[in-house]
A and B are shown apart, each in its own frame.
Chain A
């Protein structure tokens, strides 16, 4: 559905441009500690490609090498499917970086299959078709946007079904897989600039809180979920604070090993 106001949007923009501008000069500094907590939104979780395109600028990663032989399969366990769905969407972003049309299309289908397993197929059906069409046309920025949209649609559909917990697992699964890919690329050709991309303490704290706050006690006790929670806790000392330097090569490798082990557990379902 399209808002009626959009029909007049070009005219509105023009009218606004002609209107007298209100001078808005933001302060050079603000005291964020005095900002009411209720007025601060949770951290925006970046999509993997926000990181991957920086790596492209720093060098020429072989993205095809970062793609797994297969993205794993559903065991039927809903927590595993949700984590895997996030990880597979992250694989989609990697396949876009690799500009691998066939792999992108396969991943688009896999997303659909996994979404079906947790009753949100309808939410991503159009996305899956669009991913296929745009991958065939090699419209990479648009494919990237479709994967971003698929992630949001899956999360939204789960929340509408009252499955906020699963929605969180999708996000965490995507972040873990994205971090594994990031550390793999950086450890193969270490640079402080690349390693600095791991400076994500708020994101990590956000996920730790989300996992601690899972509402479903049974889900919380799932071995795979417990394993992911343990991973996040173990990463916390390794992910730099805002004022800290970029992690060194050993730390990057350690993060890669930890995330890689967990991704293996997610893709096989062996918590």
Chain B
């Protein structure tokens, strides 16, 4: 499976840019430098900030073929509540994220999927290693850019 993926750094833009953009539409530049898939992942996360979630600035992304998967290993802590969100810039693509524990058991307590956006919530029963598995279910593109972010409270 050919997969390109990488941990992405947000150079002071990312989520802050998302918050700012709604207020400064007229000032927005005409060319993009931030990965669009990442912008969509942050768009999926935005409503949860009002619920008290702190969204990490660290983010992950890459491109996958249809039916391909990527697992992101995460250290989660019992006592916290987490949401993971994915986004893609490919119109009509369907991407999802699901959370599994270190034994491979599905542990998410809630999940949603709406086209290019998806989210999964987990309240870990114990602290340890978990896997956020990103899947491209369908896409008009051969390779589909995706991005994953998460938040906690």
Contact = CB atoms under 8 A, between A and B. Distances in A.
A3 B11 CA distance: 14
B129 A201 contact: yes
Interface residues of B, number: 81
A85 to B, nearest CB: 16
Given A1-B32, A24-B94, A28-B106, A193 B129 contact: no
A270 to B, nearest CB: 31
Contacts, number: 214
Contacts of A29: 100, 103-106
Interface in B104-138: 104-106, 108, 111, 113-118, 126-129, 131, 133, 135, 137-138
Nearest to A145: B54
B71 interface: yes
B15 A145 contact: yes
Contacts of B21: 2, 6-7, 9
Contact of A202 (B72, B100, B129, B153): B129
Contacts of A242: 102, 128-129
Q: Closest 7 A-B residue pairs measured CB to CB?
A: A156-B9, A54-B79, A26-B98, A16-B115, A3-B32, A1-B33, A43-B73
Interface of B: 1, 3, 5, 7, 9-18, 20-22, 25, 28-36, 39-40, 43-44, 52, 54-58, 60, 68-80, 89, 94, 96, 98, 100, 102-106, 108, 111, 113-118, 126-129, 131, 133, 135, 137-138, 150, 152-153
